[in-house]
């Protein structure tokens, strides 16, 4: 009898976790992709123009790609930027700040502007 009760409690807890995770996923207003994905106004070069290679990274010889998740609203405004994978040396922060300064052409779904999450790599390469 005790085993049955324990199994019922564990099942109820597991079901609650699954339902709460599904509810959170359904509440995310940002699409993971759209028929027309957002693009930076002026192209990717407009982002790189706003990024200054951090001195600390230069001195340490830090190179690589910073992978960002950029939340872009239906007006093309960057609402949030998260670092998915960084390289350190101040490069992560420089990439985030550069992307935040750029306006985007909004993503579209069925011809209607929508909120989209955009994965964006930013490359740091010393000359």
- Is there a single domain that holds both residue 2 and residue 50? no
Q: CB count, 10 Å around CB of 34?
A: 21
DSSP 106: P
- Is there a single domain that holds both residue 57 and residue 100? yes
- Is there a single domain that holds both residue 49 and residue 4? no
- Is there a single domain that holds both residue 17 and residue 37? no
- Is there a single domain that holds both residue 76 and residue 96? yes
The domain containing residue 10 runs over which residues? 1-29
17-62 pLDDT, tens digit each: 444 444 455 688 999 999 999 999 999 999 999 999 999 999 999 9
> Would you state the pLDDT for residue 20?
44
| CATH code of residue 92 | 3.30.2420.10
- Is there a single domain that holds both residue 1 and residue 42? no
b or e along 64-97 (b: 16 or more beta carbons within 10 Å of the residue's beta carbon)?
Answer: bebbbebbbbbebebeebebeebbebbbbebbbe
- Is there a single domain that holds both residue 51 and residue 18? no
What average pLDDT does the structure give for the chain? 85
């Amino acid at each position: 009898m005790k085993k049955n009760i324990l199994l019922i409690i564990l099942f109820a807890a597991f079901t609650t976790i699954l339902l709460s995770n599904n509810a959170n996923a359904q509440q995310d207003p940002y699409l993971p992709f759209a028929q027309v994905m957002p693009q930076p106004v002026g192209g990717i070069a407009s982002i790189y123009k706003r990024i200054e290679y951090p001195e600390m990274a230069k001195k340490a010889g830090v190179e690589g790609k910073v992978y960002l998740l950029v939340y872009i609203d239906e007006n093309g405004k960057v609402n949030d930027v998260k670092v998915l994978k960084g390289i350190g040396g101040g490069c992560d922060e420089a990439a985030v700040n550069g992307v935040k300064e750029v306006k985007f052409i909004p993503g579209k779904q069925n011809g209607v502007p929508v909120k989209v999450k955009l994965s964006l790599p930013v490359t740091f390469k010393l000359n």
